[in-house]
């Protein structure tokens, strides 16, 4: 993995996913690659790692309306950030469910590393 991507691993979840989406915005996504981001089944099938994703990485929302709690919450829990990000004329909200083992924490789950390795394979504009 490129060093500039590796640096993203230590960021807080919101900063992590927002910076990664900026890289996605500079990439060429086929329909299949976009499906990896919008469908949790395809994410888990394609980004093979020890840990699985629970929610789609991005979720499409209407371009011209406000982001609502119905869009950001699943089962009463916030799973997506409110900010809209745009790609190819569509609007998306970004998942907040990211894990990376850090010092002083018992958590060993890692959903970031394999995702960044997949991001590293995307064609750049």
> CA-CA distances (angstroms) from residue 17 to 25, 29, 98, 99?
12, 17, 8, 11
pLDDT at 19 (0 to 100): 97
pLDDT at 108 (0 to 100): 79
pLDDT at 123 (0 to 100): 86
pLDDT at 103 (0 to 100): 73
Digit-by-digit pLDDT tens for the chain (125 residues) are 889 999 999 999 999 999 999 999 999 999 999 999 999 999 999 998 889 999 999 999 999 999 999 999 999 999 999 999 999 999 999 999 999 987 777 767 899 999 999 999 998 87
pLDDT at 9 (0 to 100): 94
This prediction has a pTM of 0.92
First and final CA of the chain: distance in angstroms?
19
pLDDT at 15 (0 to 100): 97
> CA-CA distances (angstroms) from residue 29 to 15, 123, 124?
22, 8, 9
């Amino acid at each position: 993995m490129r060093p500039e991507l590796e640096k993203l691993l230590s960021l807080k979840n919101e900063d992590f996913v927002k910076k990664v989406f900026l890289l996605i915005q500079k990439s060429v996504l086929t329909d299949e690659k976009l499906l990896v981001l919008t469908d949790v089944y395809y994410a888990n099938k394609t980004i093979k790692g020890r840990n699985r994703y629970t929610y789609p990485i991005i979720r499409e929302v209407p371009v011209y309306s406000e982001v609502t709690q119905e869009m950001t919450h699943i089962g009463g829990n916030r799973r997506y950030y409110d900010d809209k990000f745009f790609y190819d004329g569509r609007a998306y909200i970004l998942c907040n469910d990211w894990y990376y083992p850090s010092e002083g924490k018992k958590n060993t789950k890692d959903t970031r590393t394999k995702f960044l390795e997949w991001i590293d394979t995307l064609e750049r504009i």
